Structure 1
Amino acid sequence: MFWRKTTKDDKKKDEDEEKEVKMVKFGGRGSRRNQFCSPTGVAVSETSELFVADSFNERIVVCNTRGKVVRAFNTVTKGKHFRPRDLSVDKDGNLWVVGTVFMVEKKAYVCQNLLTQFSTEGRFLTKIDLPLTGVTSGIATRADIGHVRVQDQSTGKAASKKKKKGGEPKKEEEENDGLEQYTNAVEIVVTDQRTRMVERKGYSESCVKVVTPDGTQVKVVGPRNTRKPTGVAVNQKGDLYVTDSWLHCVHVFMEGRDVTKKYKKFGGFGSGDGQLDSPHGICLDRQGNVIVVDRGNWRVSVFDRDGKFVRHIMNDVPDLYSVAAGPNFVVVTCVGHCGTDTATIIPYSSDK
């Protein structure tokens, strides 16, 4: 067999082919290396690597822009496997994954929501336990916007007890006004779907939580506005875009301001342009446009940053679930009851 020596022109041609993005569909239900079983989340790194949360296979699958699997790693924390639901790449290039671990304790079947951080190569870094209030399905990361955090109420109670037992409180306690300034490099935003029964009626307490990498809860947003938040995306200002599959809209919580007063939403139930039916995944492109998976209408829609409808980039595709944007492409996953479980890469430009 004759082997031809690789030249610089050959290497350049391979690099150009790698940068060029074509529409490609890959996956399919199964547990093999190139298959998925409920791919409920997807993210894109700065180097255009695709990270798919292969939920029921309990792993993260990493692909290139041609749909070829580069590597995969199991989602394991302290010896326990868990099902990843969604994931996000932070500004340092690490992965934050939200998921659920299922365990059997004292002959009882229990589960626990958690946040984990992995390197892009699959090395476990840290874990944060989350209260099991419902389904935690969406995640995004953002740079700390430097607002003020209200201290935990339990801290105040502990201080009052010390005052009774030990007499006068310390000087630091007297000067503490219940607020604490803080600075963190990264904040993690997760959607929390929780519903409890009141007088035989479902009462929603769903919300969006913002936590720091050490597990400290910074704030809770949207209990009065959201019903079933599914996906979340963050712009450069720190504003939160949240899809709501029960109210069929996108909530916008504007950070850096009073979010109780600076709040808006767009969408609304329907099948017309600009309307939504059970929206799930959401992301932002490089220009700040909002890309929404309109699951009930079998399409992916694009809105500008103010919520004005722009166009559809996919139509007549059932079982759409999550979406992520790269520099010149969009990747969408499908999760269905008929063995869909695929991912599709679509060339995309925010100018069109």
Structure 2
Amino acid sequence: METEAAGPAPISIPGSTRTDTGAETSDQASRPHIITFGDEPGAGKLRSPRGVAVSPDNKIWVADRSKSHLQVYSMEGAYLYQFPQATGLGYPSKEPYDVSIDKDGHLWVLMIGYPASPDSVVQVSRAGHLKANFDLPDTVPRGGVRGMAVGLHNDHVFVTWSDGYSRGGVQAFTPDGTLLWGVGPRMKTPMFVAVDGKGDIFVSDFGTHFIYKYDEAGRYVMRFGGPGVGGGELRYPEGICVDSSGHIMVVDQDNQRVVMYTGRGVYVRHIAARAEYPSGVAVGPGGQLVVTNKNTITVFTGY
């Protein structure tokens, strides 16, 4: 695990591989810390992390495609356990691709089953009990992608799909798997999806470099971002989430940063991701920014 300060001088942080022998100044103490972990040998080692969520008790839940369970870490980077610890996610032959937490604290996990079985969504209680599951109507081909999010005000499940090349969309389901609606003609390679407190849906489109916004009924509202390297422009957006202030946080993979927008798509600022292949993103209850990378997790204790 590697820990550093955002400023020029690293400071002492418990569990860090990097320390400063001098006294910590008040200016240093006020700077956000940056912690990177997940590549240490052992059970907590990551190989293909993708989706990530943070629970109200500051636990980090990671969907790693190389694992049959979720990986759970503390906000300080300590590996805690795999989840569920006993039963698994019910589909040992499928890969966990994304994870979301509903208003009751239950975990929802997107499981990819290509090429032999359908993709599935699983609901698991924090105690590790399987509560619900349903198969998705279409299985993405190898090379295709998906993302998932659960709305906090109605528990609707939103899942993206893509053939990996030129077409894709997003679908809305009830918690029992009933399809409510599906949209997609405007999108090319949708990746991740997020839902704000008003029920608006935001989809990152890797192929067009835009973020697409829909209302809770699936009606197209707008798009923002667009190809480029500066300001609110994007190059291959991936992970997306909504913070407690309603800001939209987007992983701008090729530009190696996380870009912040208002809910109306206005660029606010960006944060350097400090990773070569940033992918998923989540925010913690204490204002932390959590980003999955190629085989690690990076936590910004403030952003």
Query: TM-score band, normalised by the shorter chain?
Result: 0.7 to 0.9
Letter in 2 for 1:128: F
Letter in 2 for 1:28: D
Per the TM alignment, residue 300 of structure 1 is displaced from its structure 2 partner at its CA by: 1.2
Query: Which residue does 1:64 correspond to in 2?
Result: 74
What is the CA–CA distance in structure 2 between the aligned matches of 1:68 and 1:299, rounded to whole Å? 24
| 2:119 alignment partner, SS class | strand
Query: Which residue does 2:126 correspond to in 1?
Result: 120
What is the CA–CA distance in structure 1 between the aligned matches of 2:91 and 2:211, rounded to whole Å? 38
> Does 281-290 or 303-312 show the bigger shift?
303-312
> Does 233-242 or 119-128 show the bigger shift?
119-128
> Does 72-81 or 186-195 show the bigger shift?
72-81
Kindly report which structure 2 residues correspond to 1:274-285, keeping only aligned pairs within 5 A, or say none. Answer: 274-285=232-243
Per the TM alignment, residue 29 of structure 1 is displaced from its structure 2 partner at its CA by: 7.6
Cα distance change of structure 1 residues 124 and 315 upon mapping to structure 2, 3 Å threshold: closer
Letter in 2 for 1:329: Q
What is the CA–CA distance in structure 2 between the aligned matches of 1:45 and 1:320, rounded to whole Å? 21
Letter in 2 for 1:240: I
Query: Which residue does 1:160 correspond to in 2?
Result: none
Aligned equivalent of 2:157, options 175, 180, 188 = 188
What is the CA–CA distance in structure 1 between the aligned matches of 2:200 and 2:91, rounded to whole Å? 36
Query: Which residue does 1:138 correspond to in 2?
Result: 147
Per the TM alignment, residue 316 of structure 1 is displaced from its structure 2 partner at its CA by: 5.0
Matched, 1:89 2:101: yes
| Contact 1:21 1:65 (8 Å CA) reproduced | no
Query: Which residue does 1:26 correspond to in 2?
Result: 37
Query: Which residue does 1:232 correspond to in 2?
Result: 193
| Contact 1:189 1:208 (8 Å CA) reproduced | yes
Per the TM alignment, residue 254 of structure 1 is displaced from its structure 2 partner at its CA by: 2.1
Kindly report which structure 2 residues correspond to 1:300-339, keeping only aligned pairs within 5 A, or say none. Answer: 300-327=258-285, 328-335=287-294
Letter in 2 for 1:115: V
| Contact 2:65 2:97 (8 Å CA) reproduced | yes
Instruction: Please give the TM-score of this superposition, normalised by the length of structure 2.
Output: 0.82
Per the TM alignment, residue 122 of structure 1 is displaced from its structure 2 partner at its CA by: 2.9
Q: Percent identity?
A: 33
Greater share of strand: 1
Letter in 1 for 2:109: V
| Contact 2:193 2:203 (8 Å CA) reproduced | yes
What is the CA–CA distance in structure 2 between the aligned matches of 1:312 and 1:143, rounded to whole Å? 26
Matched, 1:36 2:46: yes
Structure 1 ranges of 4+ moved more than 4 A: none
Per the TM alignment, residue 298 of structure 1 is displaced from its structure 2 partner at its CA by: 1.3
Query: Which residue does 1:269 correspond to in 2?
Result: 227
Cα distance change of structure 1 residues 323 and 203 upon mapping to structure 2, 3 Å threshold: closer
What is the CA–CA distance in structure 1 between the aligned matches of 2:68 and 2:47, rounded to whole Å? 9
Greater share of helix: 1
What is the CA–CA distance in structure 2 between the aligned matches of 1:275 and 1:334, rounded to whole Å? 21
What is the CA–CA distance in structure 2 between the aligned matches of 1:236 and 1:78, rounded to whole Å? 30
Give ranges in structure 2 of 5+ residues lacking alignment. 1-30
Matched residue count: 267
Query: Which residue does 1:174 correspond to in 2?
Result: none
Cα distance change of structure 1 residues 245 and 193 upon mapping to structure 2, 3 Å threshold: same
Give ranges in structure 1 of 5+ residues lacking alignment. 1-19, 103-108, 145-184, 196-201, 336-340
Highest Rg: 1 or 2? 1
Letter in 1 for 2:82: A
Kindly report which structure 2 residues correspond to 1:241-252, keeping only aligned pairs within 5 A, or say none. Answer: 241-252=202-213
Instruction: Please give the TM-score of this superposition, normalised by the length of structure 1.
Output: 0.71
Kindly report the root-mean-square deviation, in angstroms, between the aligned alpha carbons of the 2 structures.
2.2
